[in-house]
Amino acid sequence: MILRNLYDSDKHELFFLRSNNAVNKYIERKEEKNISETLRFISLINKGIKQNKWIYWAICLKNNKNLIGTICLWNFSTNQKIAEIGYELNSHFQKQGIINEAINSIIDFAFNEIKLQEIEAYTHKKNISSKNLLVKNNFKINENRKDIDYINNIILSLKKNDFMCK
């Protein structure tokens, strides 16, 4: 697996991710209807990267540079010490350890390069695969917090100290 920038040439693969029912089963977002909407999304993402609003990567296989998923750090706290991780993967590539590898890379980057103190993850309470993946990576369910925007989400977090003890 490699992580790289998102390009306009990723539009077809990204459109698939953002409009596929299997990929979006547990994601509450407006479905993209056409490639033009996907190109606007790519432009928005790249503009936000330049403005330091978020960090966003395309996930590809080492032997094929086509996008198969995405992973990001976004929703940074005001003091830049906490960020949310988000990810999605083409269902044909799920259950192969790809997202686990990507998450591990992003956790290392977040704590060691940009010096975050905590990473949060919001996932649908019925998305057992995502929840298990996060728990496997030392994320802990935060029972005291609720996602007020999406009541079906649970919030998990990984503190830098817990990562260092791994």
Instruction: Write out the two tokens for 90.
Output: 């083409």
Q: Which DSSP state fits 34?
A: S
pLDDT reported for residue 164:
61
pLDDT tens across the length of the chain (166 residues): 999 999 999 999 999 999 988 887 888 777 778 999 999 999 999 999 999 999 999 999 999 999 999 999 999 999 999 999 999 999 999 999 999 999 999 999 999 999 999 999 999 999 999 999 999 999 999 988 888 888 899 999 999 987 765 5
Determine whether 29 is exposed, middle or buried from the number of CB atoms within 10 Å of its CB (0-12, 13-18, 19+): exposed
Instruction: Write out the two tokens for 69.
Output: 């998923």
pLDDT reported for residue 165:
52
Question: Can you list the domains of the chain with their CATH numbers?
Answer: 2-164 (3.40.630.30)
pLDDT reported for residue 20:
80
